[in-house]
Structure 1
């Protein structure tokens, strides 16, 4: 049973903006006893509370989230949050730079996986892999 209160409404609105209906209403409304508590927590606490705090912009939160997912090797969530970051105004170049920066602090495998995920997301979103002409200089 979903309780529609202010945190829920704020969280579902943020999820909808970042991930569309499939990542918002569909996720929440098609839960089971197995995952309903997780979906409630993600909607209310993650997106209804923490993502709304004034100390960081939503764009900055997306950049940080993507960086942490690259650092911890959470492949599936990297793709989810790369899409969300694009919706939140993070540029493809910024996402690439986050993945490249990971080489320094997380190692080549982490950075490589981040770039691989970005390649998939950019292809899906029809973002040209020629981001800034750097490869032709």
Structure 2
């Protein structure tokens, strides 16, 4: 495997999600989850988030929309924080969730709004 891809993935993952999250994920990695963490770092962060075709703001918008559509409420707080890091405002995050609701359904957007609101409130404390 290409260590440059892993290193780039680790760098981008830290820039987007923060050192604390990545350190926590690394510390919680077990023999069972090690291959999955390697996959995430290489494939998602090292091969997708490093591409030139979209900026990080746009990637965050897409990620929020897909997580909302797939009802991935456990992943949303991390990516709401990442969206703020990538330059989205709370109002823009709301617009992404509202827009997603029109195409993925109101219940999905309703759950995402609740998670995002809680996360944004925690971030402002």
Same structural fold, with TM-score higher than 0.5 when normalized by the shorter chain: yes
Distance 2:75 2:28 in 1: 19
Aligned partners of 2:80 and 2:120 also within 8 Å: no
Return the structure number with greater relative CO, CA threshold 8 A, min gap 6.
Answer: 2
Q: Does 1:88 align with 2:86?
A: yes
Distance 1:4 1:56 in 2: 23
TM-score (norm 1): 0.84
- Over 2 Å off, 4+ runs: none
Partner of 2:112: 114
Partner of 1:32: 30
Q: CA deviation at 1:27?
A: 1.2
Q: RMSD of the alignment, in Å?
A: 1.8
Partner of 1:67: 65
Across the two proteins, how many residue pairs are aligned to each other? 125
Distance 1:53 1:18 in 2: 14
What are the Cα deviations for residues 57-103 of structure 1, in whole angstroms up to 9, with x where unaligned? 11111110110000110001111111111111112111100111122
Q: SS of the residue aligned with 1:49?
A: helix
Q: Does 1:16 align with 2:9?
A: no
Distance 1:75 1:117 in 2: 7
TM-score (norm 2): 0.91
Structure with bigger gyration radius: 1
